[in-house]
């Protein structure tokens, strides 16, 4: 295993956690993690040695997820809305992951742009600068999405 | 006059985003102002709650397991020819190919071998699937998804794919695409299995592949030549 694969495999567990925050669905999260790993390996020539591999890989995952959401929206226009996620939720509860499931449902109620900011900073622990780099937005934009997202989450969790 | 301390500032303080002087100023304000203290506590507790629920995910290893019982094309061929099978390859050994399957290996249910393996008379594929294999690049979304393209030891081009009812590996013969490995796309329990998310398939590929999988440029070149060797 070379240096790149080494670095990529060490970030995979965190990528998979980020995928849970983004997709709010364990099956989607695992699929997204795999596709991100594949994409990163194919695109490894685009990664510059010495730059932040984590931010690069997070960005690949986030962009893949945007594509997935778009294509699902196109598909759902021509098909009946799928009952996706329902069974998975039940399975997650059965596995004693009720709390994780509950928090993913709370994240679901945020706008996409707030959810990804919250996932990167509050769950993944990235600095504001790193998160802004992943999302390719100015630091001020990141901060305002992050704060609005957290305010909304706090309201959701307090049952308002 | 320093800026007033608002929720944004309190959150930035909790996130360690402030310089030492400003952090001290916020800390002081939180210590003396009950409203700010309550705000800080709300956000601190929320972050801790997410950390507790999501943290374990990042502790789950995403590494290949090597214990899966697999259908190995090499073993099948060896059995046919009466030779002892070569030892199973370790997942990491073929380099990129193995790494590209890492996530799938961990995520997929291990230890099952419900695929149809290559027993000599390879199966022809439905026209729609053949068309997808002819035209689609890896990673494109669609009814058929191609995960990976590679050259087999005999020089033929092969591609792993997932379609609605079937996932597997097909290789391009002079007569068209021929199925070399297949498994039902729906895994037991009804969960949909994505391309590459099958340890038996990974093993089949590992036994067939010569060198590394094709990169995007290699795929385009192969496609331009109709995937002929």
**Average pLDDT of chain B, as a whole number:** 71
Under an 8 A CB cutoff, do B194 and A143 touch?
no
Taking residue B211's Cβ as centre, other Cβ atoms within 10 Å add up to 12
pLDDT digits (tens, 9 = 90+) for B130-157: 888 888 888 777 778 888 899 988 889 9
Q: Which residues in chain B are closer than 8 Å to A3, comparing Cβ atoms?
A: none
pLDDT digits over B182-204, tens only?
776 655 444 444 445 567 778 78
Over residues B4-51, the pLDDT tens digits come to: 899 999 999 999 999 999 999 999 999 999 999 999 999 999 999 999
Nearest to B102 by CA among A52, A8, A134: A8
Q: Please count the other Cβ atoms lying within 10 Å of the Cβ belonging to residue B216.
A: 14
* Cβ B25 vs Cβ B5: under 8 Å: yes
A103–B50 CB contact, under 8 Å: yes
Name A36's Cβ contacts closer than 8 Å, sequence gap at least 6: A15, A19, A57, A60, A61, A64, B103
Best residue in A23, A29, A42, A43 for a mutation probing chain B (most B CBs within 10 Å): A42
What is the pTM for the complete model shown?
0.55
Chain B positions in Cβ-Cβ contact with residue A2 (cut-off 8 Å): 95
Does the ipTM surpass 0.95? no
The beta-carbon neighbor of A30 closest among B17, B107, B139 is B107
What number of C-beta contacts closer than 8 Å exist between A and B?
Answer: 120
Minimum-distance CB partner of A150 among B46, B58, B99:
B46
């Amino acid at each position: 295993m070379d240096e790149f694969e080494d670095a990529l495999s060490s970030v995979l567990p965190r990528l998979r956690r980020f995928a849970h925050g983004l997709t709010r669905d364990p099956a989607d999260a695992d699929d997204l993690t795999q596709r991100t790993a594949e994409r990163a390996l194919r695109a490894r020539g685009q990664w510059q040695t010495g730059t932040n591999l984590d931010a690069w890989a997070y960005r690949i995952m986030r962009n893949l997820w945007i594509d997935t959401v778009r294509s699902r929206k196109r598909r759902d226009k021509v098909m009946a809305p799928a009952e996706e996620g329902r069974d998975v939720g039940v399975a997650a509860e059965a596995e004693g992951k009720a709390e994780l499931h509950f928090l993913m449902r709370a994240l679901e109620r945020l706008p996409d742009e707030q959810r990804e900011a919250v996932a990167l900073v509050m769950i993944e622990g990235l600095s504001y600068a790193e998160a802004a780099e992943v999302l390719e937005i100015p630091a001020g934009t990141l901060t305002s999405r992050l704060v609005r997202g957290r305010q909304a989450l706090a309201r959701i969790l307090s049952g308002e | 006059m320093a800026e007033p301390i608002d929720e944004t500032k309190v959150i930035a303080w909790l996130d360690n985003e402030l310089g030492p002087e400003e952090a001290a100023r916020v800390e002081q304000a939180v210590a003396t102002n009950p409203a700010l203290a309550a705000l800080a506590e709300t956000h601190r507790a929320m972050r801790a709650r997410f950390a507790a629920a999501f943290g374990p995910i990042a502790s789950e290893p995403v590494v290949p397991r090597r214990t899966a019982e697999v259908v190995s094309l090499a073993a099948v061929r060896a059995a046919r020819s009466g030779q002892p099978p070569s030892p199973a390859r370790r997942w990491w050994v073929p380099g990129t190919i193995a790494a590209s399957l890492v996530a799938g290996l961990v995520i997929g249910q291990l230890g099952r071998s419900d695929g149809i393996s290559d027993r000599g008379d390879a199966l022809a594929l439905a026209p729609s699937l053949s068309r997808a294999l002819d035209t689609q690049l890896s990673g494109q979304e669609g009814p058929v998804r191609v995960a990976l393209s590679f050259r087999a030891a005999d020089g033929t081009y092969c591609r792993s794919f997932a379609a609605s009812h079937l996932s597997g590996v097909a290789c391009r013969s002079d007569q068209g695409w021929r199925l070399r490995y297949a498994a039902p796309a729906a895994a037991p329990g009804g969960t949909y299995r994505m391309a590459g998310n099958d340890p038996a398939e990974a093993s089949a590929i590992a036994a067939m592949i010569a060198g590394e999988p094709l990169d995007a440029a290699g795929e385009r070149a192969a496609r331009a030549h109709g995937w002929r060797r």
